[in-house]
Amino acid sequence: MSAAFKKGVVLMRGSNRSRVFVRVVGICAIVLLVLVALAGCGCGNGGNSGNGKTHGTVSEMKVNAGQDFTISLQSNHTTGFQWRLAAPLNKKIIQKVNSVYKPDESGGPDKVGAGGVEIWTFRAVSKGSADIMMKYARSNEKGVKPAEERVFKVTVE
């Protein structure tokens, strides 16, 4: 074989390697783009309506008659927002005992923007099912949709 032919074979092999390399890089780029696109699809607010507000989150719970139970909700009283009952309770089944706000210890009670938690305590009075409907809103804003709404479906056994 001549040196030129051998050289041509070597170039041909190098050319195939280049094609394989380009294909591998192309496939990796496509996979990376797909992963980035999928990650972007999964970065929602978990049930939010798209405007930063959550509406209609439902939780179910079972408690025994005569038992006190609590519901803890993230809150931020420094911004004027508070949780409130959105509808009257079925007092034959559930009664409100109390509610307290505990500011985040790192922020302190007077630090604007510091969040906390509202702890609502209820008593399961008798067997049955009842809904606890809550809304998170500013008390001075009338006719404005709440920032968040939650429903707790309680079964008292």
Domain ranges of the chain: 1-43, 55-156
| Cβ-contact 79, 43 below 8 angstroms | no
DSSP 8-state class, residue 146: -
pLDDT in tens, 100-110: 999 888 765 56
Model pTM above 0.75 = no
Confidence of residue 113 (pLDDT cuts 50, 70, 90): confident
Is domain 55-156 given the CATH code 2.60.40.2020 in the classification? yes
For the purposes of burial, counting CB atoms within 10 Å of the CB of 121, is it exposed (0-12), middle (13-18) or buried (19 or more)? middle
What percent of the residues of the chain are helix, what percent strand, and what percent coil, each to the nearest 5?
Answer: 25, 40, 35
